[in-house]
Chains A and B, each alone.
Chain A
């Protein structure tokens, strides 16, 4: 158990809909990262937050957004969903040690 929690575990929704994925980092970790893993793209970095502020962005679509709240939990919002957004979404957290600890992921299926 990495100490990072993600909810929900599974999510099935229709095209055009909007969903919110939630992540709680390990106690004391200020950084949160979001990654997407699809069959054809592998693990791709989406976005990083540090203590509430956006720190780095990867190939995150404009339809996707994220935020980190004062209690350090983070949410990833995916809107206007397409079939190709079906993937595993992982959250990771880290402290000054730089090692990232990943949560169990949310499996999103868009039908």
Chain B
């Protein structure tokens, strides 16, 4: 699986959009970008995933650059409950579906 690089931490004001970058410059054509988050020792929570096109669901939007070497997760209106560690994972859908978690980005939403 391709490696990802994320900033270790970032702050965000409540009610503002949070833009979380992820670099995956070695991604190959059949690898997906997945985002999970973990709120203080709870089980990780699936957020969104994409291959080439931008994706949006009720939780977030995922913007993938045209060359697919980087992506941005957007939380449109951050709340205090969005404070968590966010993991960007590049994932190849094969028989081996294990997720390789890195250190992630610790996002703190401040009132």
Q: Please, which residues of chain A bring their CB within 8 A of the CB of B81?
A: none
Q: Is the interface of B mostly helix, strand, loop or mixed?
A: loop
Is A100 a contact of B99 with CB atoms below 8 Å? yes
In the bound complex, what is the Cα–Cα distance between A103 and B103 (angstroms)?
20
State whether the Cβ of A83 lies closer than 8 Å to any Cβ in chain B.
Answer: no
Q: Is the interface of A mostly helix, strand, loop or mixed?
A: strand
Is B97 a contact of A33 with CB atoms below 8 Å? yes
State whether the Cβ of B44 lies closer than 8 Å to any Cβ in chain A.
Answer: yes
State whether the Cβ of A52 lies closer than 8 Å to any Cβ in chain B.
Answer: no
Could you say which of B34, B41, B43, B96 contacts A103, with CB atoms under 8 Å apart? B43
Number of interface residues of A (CB under 8 A): 26
0/1 string, A95-108, CB within 8 A of B gives 1: 00011111111010
* Chain B CB within 10 A, most for which of A42, A43, A88, A99: A43
Q: What are 5 A-B interface contacts by the 8 Å CB criterion? A: A43-B99, A55-B97, A58-B98, A98-B93, A105-B41
State whether the Cβ of B49 lies closer than 8 Å to any Cβ in chain A.
Answer: yes
Name the interface residues of B73-102: CB closer than 8 Å to any CB of A.
87, 91, 93, 95-102
Q: Please, which residues of chain A bring their CB within 8 A of the CB of B45?
A: 2, 102
